[in-house]
Structure 1
């Protein structure tokens, strides 16, 4: 019996693209000013998020919200930024806010605080994510999907009206930037052939941490592509908010070291990272470049600071149908958590 969504990733082209990017491409240092802008970045206490936050502060953003699960770690990150960016001495410009994406209540509370306390939001970089090797469930959804997909997009859509409102007075278009991964190229995603994607992904018998991560990143891309397509169909071609996806590349960050691995795997991984891995500072440049990219990045996947093609099957009829199914089933989850969410963002 043939599958409705016959997904076959092409490993060869991906490997060539990946190695070329890692070995021969260095994202440029961001230079565009964020003066007068309010920037929110999630997962900003370590790694890519911390380095991107440092860039935003260096580039003179007026207000920087570091959204973290552990406030004390966020305060440490704030002090680190203040000590290393020498041309500024404005501690009040950096704020640490609590956000736990494993919790819908925390996600909604964070969005409500933003809407209440911030007059404007020019940039929302959704960097927080997990790559867990152990199976866990949060609020009825496998935890990687909960953090990387469900509550990432719940927060995105809850804050989109604030970004849209900001566009009316902003000198440049506000940005909603999702940090995704080239790992989407590897996702086989058999669960999309089942009636309920999220229920299928919850099955512990078939859980594989790396596979779950790859699928979560693919779902991010499919969701954004379908969302932008639907919004574009209802609005003029020029967006009021630029929504894009960025791939930071393979970086030696806490995402790679957060989980316990066998000694041999850690040694091999360390060697690979030393040969082809980027520093978190270099990888973080892609986040900032995405958050300042022009309208041609709207709905696009960016790598090395430039628009880049996603996995080839996504452009086919299979991809169009897949993104529709992922979008509709994800929106069903989001609507159950915040009824009327789709209507509020113009869907």
Structure 2
């Protein structure tokens, strides 16, 4: 009898620790109310017309940001969000401080057009909060890739890498700037054994409709965000450009919140609805986490922020196994991004 071939990567998750941290945070901790000033600073928030992105943008306007760019799929909804912010923050009256820009991360051309506009029209970019993401029950290929993977992973990191030089330039030219690149992730990354990594081509596997399921795919997308961010930070280490004028790159977990992440015309799973009712924090409280991460100290560089503090990611990620998984994910993702924007890595000193 032939032996069953062992997987290249045997990932074991430890739910007890992750669940303990999750329930402690949801039941006993409230994210601190942001107080750090953003005076004179320009901040971009993606997915800013609703949910966590809207609440983060509201705080940033309240905290006196010189410019808050609401990056949204639908400009009309973005303008409505802008009016909502202006009407709610009565201590300030500066409508010109909020701009609404179109960005559809399902589209590579839209993602690149947005980044080029930021490069040419904004004199500085002090913080980028990459919050846009989807969680859907419907399988669909977009530009040849499954849509959750396309939006949450591929074009999120395309945008991150394209905007990195602008953040670095801001640090070089403005002494008062401490640029931040914050990627909104989730504790959901703890929940996946990531079996897809054991296939020769990760993204081909993620494109298989029969392998698609809503929550498992969302969990994988959040894990990929963690792995790619950690590998990016590791590869930038030792780069003189970034060592002398560091851009703080971190992840943030807003916790379980009332939000509009799940937008399908169907009810979420029963367990999700019960959890929302019993332990979810408000959208405003979740939005605080995004702002705290965008102003977090240098000790947050490469870390996973939760409730305004660094928090451990899933334990296996710190091991030798995690390093190998992380490297494979990076090596299979980067060629896709380079094809979308040739010279992408060399522009940040990784070519």
Same fold (TM over 0.5): yes
Instruction: Tell me, in whole angstroms, the C-alpha distance in 2 between the residues paired with 1:325 and 1:239.
Output: 29
Check the 8 A contact 1:39/1:124 in 2, yes or no.
Answer: yes
Check the 8 A contact 2:36/2:295 in 1, yes or no.
Answer: yes
Check the 8 A contact 1:40/1:67 in 2, yes or no.
Answer: yes
Deviation at 1:203, TM superposition (A): 0.5
| Structure 1 match to 2:274 | 271
Counterpart among 273, 291, 294 of residue 294 in structure 2: 291
Deviation at 1:170, TM superposition (A): 3.6
Deviates more, 1:7-16 or 1:337-346: 7-16
- Please say if 1:222 is aligned against 2:238: no
Deviation at 1:321, TM superposition (A): 0.6
Kindly tell me the number of residue pairs found equivalent between the two proteins. Answer: 344
Instruction: Tell me, in whole angstroms, the C-alpha distance in 2 between the residues paired with 1:295 and 1:176.
Output: 12
- Cα deviations across residues 87-120 of structure 1 (Å, max 9, x unaligned)? 1111111000000000000000001111110010
Instruction: Tell me, in whole angstroms, the C-alpha distance in 2 between the residues paired with 1:185 and 1:237.
Output: 31
Deviates more, 1:158-167 or 1:186-195: 186-195
Instruction: Tell me, in whole angstroms, the C-alpha distance in 2 between the residues paired with 1:340 and 1:271.
Output: 47
- Cα deviations across residues 26-82 of structure 1 (Å, max 9, x unaligned)? 110000000000000000000000000000000000011000000000000000000
- Cα deviations across residues 227-255 of structure 1 (Å, max 9, x unaligned)? 10010133375652000000000001001
Check the 8 A contact 2:41/2:177 in 1, yes or no.
Answer: no
SS at match of 2:238: helix
SS at match of 1:88: coil
SS at match of 1:66: strand
Deviation at 1:270, TM superposition (A): 3.2
Deviation at 1:11, TM superposition (A): 1.5
| Structure 2 match to 1:95 | 99
Instruction: Tell me, in whole angstroms, the C-alpha distance in 1 between the residues paired with 2:225 and 2:13.
Output: 17
Check the 8 A contact 2:44/2:127 in 1, yes or no.
Answer: yes
Check the 8 A contact 2:49/2:78 in 1, yes or no.
Answer: yes
| Structure 2 match to 1:197 | 202
Deviation at 1:154, TM superposition (A): 0.5
Check the 8 A contact 2:183/2:251 in 1, yes or no.
Answer: yes
Instruction: Tell me, in whole angstroms, the C-alpha distance in 1 between the residues paired with 2:273 and 2:193.
Output: 26
Deviates more, 1:276-285 or 1:231-240: 231-240
Q: Which runs of 5 or more structure 2 residues have no equivalent in the other structure?
A: none
| Structure 2 match to 1:119 | 123
Instruction: Tell me, in whole angstroms, the C-alpha distance in 1 between the residues paired with 2:302 and 2:312.
Output: 12
Deviation at 1:172, TM superposition (A): 3.3
SS at match of 1:251: coil
Instruction: Tell me, in whole angstroms, the C-alpha distance in 1 between the residues paired with 2:72 and 2:305.
Output: 25
Correspondences of 1:247-258 after superposition (within 5 Å): 247-256=253-262, 258=263
Deviates more, 1:189-198 or 1:228-237: 228-237
Q: Which runs of 5 or more structure 1 residues have no equivalent in the other structure?
A: none
TM-score, length of structure 1 as denominator length? 0.97
